[in-house]
Structure 1
């Protein structure tokens, strides 16, 4: 059987959700499909649950049990090594999918030899169905649409990727840190030439407070962001479109630093100018003139937090005044 789609699922202590996720995969109407579960050193009974499912569908289920914790990115990299599908998909072990998801997305992919197919999703956090991209994104990727990809970033799990885009370009995930999906998607966005859109909410994104992205290691947030920025820029500078895409690539970096900036501001009883100056100093290691980024400047026109974030690059005292007024 020729495998049309490989679905890679990193698993870490997901016993509470695994039944629903695995059952939703096994119910897929696309039959030429394989499911690669990478157990990332779970300490609960996730592995035992996977083995029970494997007995029911030995032909399509592949289980990889890691000896050392790799994080979601590292686990996905291992899954890629075992994949054989014409197209690749990723799913998170605490979510679930519509039974027609991969058949519909594969049909769209081969309709016009698309490199990437995007579908809609339901988000539990907002309790609503959403589409990241509309139909105007479909077809040959223009420069403007490539910029839109970077600015929206999105989720790795709502997409179907042509295998050659990932494997031939040697695109991998960063190991053991947050934002590995941002780096992966940015590298993919540099490569894709044709995009397909399926405007149906096939993926069900659960708001799991125990997930890797929600928990993270907040005490080492500076280290995490600095590690990410260093590797991200190293990867992006190797892309042939880097010079023309540089402002939007830097916008991606600023978005991550802004989240930290806003979290500090909203949770601190009093704004400390020294902390703002420290954040400013760290950002300038990667984007020296970030206060003038054309994409972030546009976003800041209607958001005082973003405005203060940019002003902090020039005048931290003025940023403090703005933020104190916002918090009143």
Structure 2
């Protein structure tokens, strides 16, 4: 009999964390699931730890796919190809979650009109400090409202691990992860999926514990660090969203506003990067110009709080001073998280 839920977990050098993640899974109150692990060319003992866990816990629906390193998107695509469940969720190998996490996600999608179930989360540093926790009321949202919710700066964001998707929609519309996009590839997948839904349901209860690791890709992408060209793929992600929602003025407007916020952020990262050169300066100037052209769009958008809009205005009026302040803040946060 096929499982109701497929749980896909890409693994890359996660030997220190994967046991905690898997323990969270086998302790779930809902048990009709399969676990699909994709070992993406780990160079540590991740594969050994996975096999030992599988053998010691005698898990029936536990699949381990071993492959060469190709990135998280290629790993997730292989997971989708192997998934047999009616629903699918994705987890990160270094996070943990509460025992009712799957149960709550499934409760949100039981209504046939609901095609996407979203749960809240707690964002935590490695030292245990909680830096953010979702709150609010459970709500049902339309397609356009869901696009806005996922792009909202202080919303539930485009993470995969706090969402439950229907496999029939993924297969019907041949959805997969763009393996050329290395930043916000998860957001891109979510927004493309939302194009085909009727409604979503959001439960803000923080059942997922997202642990921010000091060596993660996102913590490295901060003010004062060396700039990597791969970070530009985030713009590719937004361009793909705009293309997909062509003709939907509400969604297009929100995506453009989110892109304008991102271009200002990338421009600032370049300005404070030790490897800034003439090529990057030119790109930074172009990104800043895009943000300026879309200033009114950002200020009129529901995606950003009043505080965030003020921050955006200041960053456009006095960009150098704003970049310096953000660099100092980033350095302070890095020290606090250690």
TM-score, with structure 2 as normaliser: 0.79
Per-residue deviation, residues 56-115 of structure 1 (Å, max 9, x unmatched) = 334211101112x12122211111110111111011000011122112321331145421
> Are residue 162 (structure 1) and residue 173 (structure 2) matched?
no
What is the match of residue 255 of structure 1? Answer: 261
> Are residue 184 (structure 1) and residue 185 (structure 2) matched?
no
Per-residue deviation, residues 40-69 of structure 1 (Å, max 9, x unmatched) = 1000000011111222334211101112x1
Change in CA separation of 1:161 and 1:45 when aligned onto 2, cut-off 3 Å: same
> Deviation of residue 121 (structure 1)?
1.5
Q: The residue matched to 1:184 in structure 2 has which SS?
A: helix
CA distance in 2, matches of 1:300, 1:123: 20
CA distance in 1, matches of 2:252, 2:105: 31
CA distance in 1, matches of 2:221, 2:320: 28
Per-residue deviation, residues 160-189 of structure 1 (Å, max 9, x unmatched) = 112223222222222261221121122123
Change in CA separation of 1:72 and 1:132 when aligned onto 2, cut-off 3 Å: farther
What is the match of residue 6 of structure 2? Answer: 6
Q: Is the 8 A contact 2:242 2:256 kept in 1?
A: no
CA distance in 2, matches of 1:202, 1:231: 28
Q: Is the 8 A contact 2:184 2:237 kept in 1?
A: no
Q: How does 1:119-268 map to 2 (within 5 A)?
A: 119-125=119-125, 127=130, 130-131=133-134, 134-135=137-138, 138-141=139-142, 143-151=144-152, 152=155, 153-175=157-179, 177-215=182-220, 219-221=226-228, 223-239=229-245, 242-263=248-269, 267=272
Per-residue deviation, residues 122-174 of structure 1 (Å, max 9, x unmatched) = 22135166227632xx3351644542332233421111112223222222222
Per-residue deviation, residues 222-252 of structure 1 (Å, max 9, x unmatched) = x324333235413531335544422211122
Q: The residue matched to 2:286 in structure 1 has which SS?
A: helix
Q: The residue matched to 1:149 in structure 2 has which SS?
A: helix
Moved more, 229-238 or 48-57: 229-238
What is the match of residue 64 of structure 1? Answer: 65
> Are residue 51 (structure 1) and residue 65 (structure 2) matched?
no
Q: How does 1:54-93 map to 2 (within 5 A)?
A: 54-55=54-55, 56-67=57-68, 69-93=69-93
Name the structure where helix makes up a greater proportion of residues: 1
Q: The residue matched to 2:44 in structure 1 has which SS?
A: coil
CA-atom RMSD in angstroms: 3.5
Q: Is the 8 A contact 2:14 2:93 kept in 1?
A: yes
CA distance in 1, matches of 2:198, 2:37: 29
Change in CA separation of 1:233 and 1:322 when aligned onto 2, cut-off 3 Å: closer
Q: The residue matched to 1:245 in structure 2 has which SS?
A: helix
What is the match of residue 315 of structure 1? Answer: none
Where do 5+ consecutive residues of structure 2 fail to align?
A: 329-338
Where do 5+ consecutive residues of structure 1 fail to align?
A: 312-317
Question: How many residue pairs get matched?
Answer: 315
Q: The residue matched to 2:195 in structure 1 has which SS?
A: helix
What is the match of residue 334 of structure 2? Answer: none
What is the match of residue 34 of structure 2? Answer: 34
